[in-house]
Structure 1
Amino acid sequence: MLLIRFEEAGALPKAITDSGVRVVEAGRLLGALDVLDAPTPAPSAPGAEHPAYIMFTSGSTGPLPRGVRSGPAPLAHFLAWYVPAFGLGPDSRFALLAGLGHDPLLRDVFTPLWAGGELHVPDTELIANPLSLLHWLAERRITVLHLTPPLARLLAIAAGETGMRLPDVRLICYGGDVLRQGDVAALAAVAPSARHVNFYGATETPQAMAFHIVEPGAADLGADATRSVPVGRGIADVQILVLNGSGQLAGVGEAGEIVIRTPYLAEGYVNASGENSPGSGGFHHDPMPGVRRYATGDRGRYLPDGTVEILGRTDAQVKIRGFRVDPAEIDAVCRRLPGVNDAVTVARQHAEGDIRLTTYVVTADGQALAPGQLRADLAARLPEYMTPSEVMEISSMPLTPNGKIDTRALPEPAPDREPGRQASGGDLEEIVRAIWQTVLEVEDIAPDDNFFDLGGTSRLMAQVQVSLRERLGRDITLVSLFTHASTGALARHLQQAAAPAPAASTAPRARRRDHAAARAQRLGRRGDRA
């Protein structure tokens, strides 16, 4: 016998409880019967303390990037400051120019959502083609630009050669690399109505934590064109500290490490054992509860007005077109190539702030390796921005008295080719060669010489692109120029290729997609107001 008791009936008589009859509570029984039909409990809403995403950075030593875990609070804090500080709103039109695997993507996507503006997304091919990108920005009447300084230089070069302007741009924010006065001055001529702001941050911060507004007339293409623009002061609830070797605040003009102090840092590295531990990187505790510090690894100094200026890196890392690169990672990959005994990569600064990587290799005994082939092997294993411009073979590594590699004793890079080879015929190839000679400042160029083996960079390739357009009257993509990186290969490609559409035209598919996205955002705003 089974007796079901309902709570409302009260206590059972003693005679029943002493009889040995099995008693089951009704609530418990009904709960067991209903469990299959019970709705799944709604998950709790994520809070600011919950992890929201993981972004990866190549700014650490070792062969692999490190994952940085962050909650939504830093991004929300940045947006709450950024949008009202610069008057962004429904009339703001943004362009998505950040890479999909780079943390500025969050800023580029969520700023227009926060402000109620429009986000326009160009095709990938447009971003690789400064001329076409300029036309697209003008056509879409973009008002807010987020640029790395290298991309800003490419746009300024293309605009300078074509005379194009971006009159609708009202705000240009730079980040990801050292910004120079000449960069701002050149782009100010392209976008005469724009304010220029230098942002400073890192994946670990994870959005911009410092800013500096370049006042009108401050940027000068004269003697100060190569001088860096300060990163300024911290945004709301952020301090930008410069600490000397003793961990104390540096004096005005004294060099030290830049440390960011705020409650709004990323949580830390994935699989790190805790702050101040060997795996914590630059994250550190702060005496004030709720506040933490991140040591950036950048060297800087206070200027007399209290703003901060970057002087370089405290370690061997360098910035290549906005990406942090550790030359030791390139060396590790190079040493794994067949026939290579040792390798060291050196970063050298060239004209107009370009940084070029040169890898020196020592081959195994009896091995004869072509530097051009070694560079091709590295290009197949490394991202484009980490691929060295030159590869040089040396007999042995020069050492200092302390037994370390003496990079100052390494020979200056030279193109890997036989001097005096005669150029092949062909009017088109002669045009290409003449442009290369002007841009690279190299006279002896053979048909199979690689542009990058001759000292070329992405910025110089953009100049080639502009010059070819002027001479040939056709728009040639940077992708094509990178793919056909010798005068002979490029001339053959140009002969075979059909004349492309004018640079001003953009893909109808991209136009339809962006117009649909903009219309959806406008409808969403109307729904909010209804």
Structure 2
Amino acid sequence: RVGVSIERSAEMIIALLAILKAGGAFVPLDPRYPAARLSYMLSDAGVQHLVTQRGLSTVAITPDSMTTLYVEDVQNEDSTEYDHPPAVVIHPSQSAYLIYTSGSTGQPKGVTVEHGPLARHCQAIGERYQMSVEDRVLHFASINFDLAHEYWLMPLLFGARLVITDNVLWSPAETCAQLAHHGVTVAAFPPSYLVQLAEAAQARQDKLALRVLAFGGEALSREHFELVRTVFAPATLINGYGPTETVISPMLWITQPDTDPAEWQHNAYLPIGTPVGARSAYVLDAALNALPVGVAGELYLGGAELARGYHARAGMTAERFIPDPFCAGGRLYRTGDRARWRSDGSVDYLGRLDHQVKLRGVRIEPGEIEAQLLACLGVREAAVLVHGDGGDGQLVAYLVAEESGAPLDRTLLKSQLQQRLPDYMVPAQFMLLDRLPVTANGKLDRRALPAPTWKGRAYRAPESVVEISLG
């Protein structure tokens, strides 16, 4: 296992590719991550070699027992260039990379992905994207996200050109300018950034060459999706779905400019589509029985394109990767996501099972409330939690405004929600934040959301006959 901690550059891509060709497994270590988290990953992964650059924080936390190779030293050496790959035989079941994802215990957990599933996925995803040598693909995500590796492997596999962003996050306006300047035809962004990008593109009126625009990982409201669809027409829009354990983006929902809006206008979330490559998808009940169209259950993904499992966590691997009851010798990954089949053969995403809450006897999916909040005017980000126990429990909405510092009319928000949701799903309190807290890999950190403060009136004993009788 070889750690890679290099600033965003051509050298970063070369290092990742070189490790794969040499038969090693790379462990991505974004130098912008906190030192404590990088140190934990180095130790937990058992990294033996580190490829890095002088002056980066990763160097300071590297154990003496680890071999460190500096990119600058290699660049200064007189080296022979080869026109053929190394004489290394790589088996499809060898590890290709070990990447870390958030853990429920607070510590990240490593997911091991093999060469075979990774290669088959990149081939299948490129075919779905209709990639060609004419494409120019933007590499935007941090290498600590698995999507980043699809977005350099897929272009190289199909002979496309790669455009790599800088170390500093571009503003939406700058991204628009760079997309236009480089003639980028394929790009992927987190939904929250994509909305800002659409607004910037609308204001700048840049002529973009985008052919495919992908997004995923967060909820995107129907209104924001309509904005993106209008601004970036006639680009094909792709909603990618997939846990790290199922190798990057195992399901895609693809919309063309002429796609009927009825496909997404009646649900809280956009559909997540159909499996990519030789994968299988099942919606099952608690007893692993297959559920019919329209009935909600847990989504399970199977087939040959699954990760090997969690590094050095056999118990957790056995819990999440189970024997496939529909295919002898196969495995299924239990996603923990609620889903249902659509009549057209695609899948609707309905939220996380572990985020479901029960409030005064009624089961509630906070994600559905969040999706409706995102559809309200002026709301950029939203999260919903239950605070309090039993009968004292109350729904609290945490909101980030479209414009920094702009006020939100809580009365209007409540009125809008009451038109779309039953009363028991309307939050009792709305808290306006500058930003929502996130974990090191960019996901919402619900545990870091501030506790609400409740205002009440002092108790006054009943006095009139009516008050006493009601009491």
**Contact 1:182–1:224 under 8 Å retained in 2:** no
- Residues 138, 65 of structure 1: CA spacing in aligned structure 2 closer, same or farther, 3 A cutoff? same
| Equivalent pair of 2:121/2:247 in contact (CA under 8 Å) | no
Which runs of 5 or more structure 1 residues have no equivalent in the other structure?
1-41, 319-345, 361-396, 401-405, 416-434, 444-451, 460-530
Aligned to 1:448: none
The answer to whether the 8 Å contact 1:184/1:196 transfers is no
Equivalent residue for 2:152, pick from 109, 118, 126: 109
Q: Give the direction of change, closer, same or farther, for the CA distance of 1:215–1:55 in structure 2 (3 Å limit).
A: same
- How many residue pairs get aligned? The number is 317
Secondary structure of the 2:132 match is coil
RMSD: 3.5
Q: Deviations over 1:231-282 (max 9, x none)?
A: 1111221111100222111111111000001111000001122xxx455342
Per-residue CA deviation, residues 274-330 of structure 1 (Å, 9 max, x unaligned), is xxx455342112253553211111000011112110000111289xxxxxxxxxxxx
Identify the structure with the greater strand proportion: 2
Instruction: Give the TM-score, by structure 2 length.
Output: 0.60
| CA deviation vs aligned residue, 1:312-359 (integer Å, no higher than 9, x gap) | 0111289xxxxxxxxxxxxxxxxxxxxxxxxxxx98726326323679
Q: Between Structure 1 and Structure 2, whose CA radius of gyration is higher?
A: 1
Question: CA deviation digits over 1:458-514, x for unaligned, max 9?
Answer: 79xxxxxxxxxxxxxxxxxxxxxxxxxxxxxxxxxxxxxxxxxxxxxxxxxxxxxxx
Aligned-pair distance for 1:93? Answer: 0.3
Q: Which residue of 2 aligns with 1:352?
A: 374
Of 175, 183, 186, the residue aligned with 1:133 is 175
Question: Counterpart of 1:95?
Answer: 138
What's the secondary structure of 1:158's corresponding residue?
helix
Structure 1 pair 131/237, CA: closer, same or farther in 2 (3 Å)?
Answer: same
Measure, in 2, the Cα distance between the counterparts of 1:81 and 1:87: 10
One of 434, 445, 453 as aligned partner of 1:456 = 434
Give, in angstroms, the shift of residue 150 of structure 1.
Answer: 1.9
Partner AA of 1:271 in structure 2: A
Deviates more, 1:349-358 or 1:142-151: 349-358
The match for 1:524 is none
Answer whether contact 2:188 2:214 (CA < 8 A) is retained.
Answer: yes
Of 289, 293, 303, the residue aligned with 1:262 is: 303
Q: Distance in 1 between matches of 2:337 and 2:310?
A: 19
1:31 counterpart residue number: none
Matches within 5 A, 1:82-481: 82-127=125-170, 129-160=171-202, 162-218=203-259, 224=265, 227-273=268-314, 277-287=315-325, 288-289=327-328, 291-316=330-355, 349=370, 351-352=373-374, 354-356=381-383, 397-399=388-390, 407-408=393-394, 438=406, 440-441=408-409, 454-457=432-435
| Structure 2 CA distance for aligned equivalents of residues 412 and 201 of structure 1 | 26
Q: Look up the SS of the partner of 1:280 in the other structure.
A: helix
Counterpart residue identity of residue 101, structure 2: T
Q: In the TM superposition, what is the alpha-carbon distance from 1:83 to its structure 2 partner?
A: 2.1
C-alpha spacing 1:411/1:236, structure 2 compared with 1 (3 Å): closer
Q: Distance between the aligned counterparts of 2:316 and 2:355, measured in 1? A: 19
Task: Tell me the equivalent position of 2:420.
Answer: none
Contact preservation (8 Å) 1:74, 1:207: no
- Give the aligned partner of residue 53 of structure 1: 97
Say if 2:384 and 2:397, in contact at 8 Å, map to a contact too.
no
The aligned amino acid for 1:456 is D
TM-score, normalisation: structure 1:
0.53
> In 1, are the aligned partners of 2:221 and 2:374 still within 8 Å (CA)?
no
How many percent identity over aligned positions? 26
Q: Is the 8 A contact 1:168 1:191 kept in 2?
A: no
> Corresponding residue for 2:34?
none
Q: Which has the higher contact order (CA 8 A, sep 6+)?
A: 1
Structure 2 residue identity aligned to 1:74: P
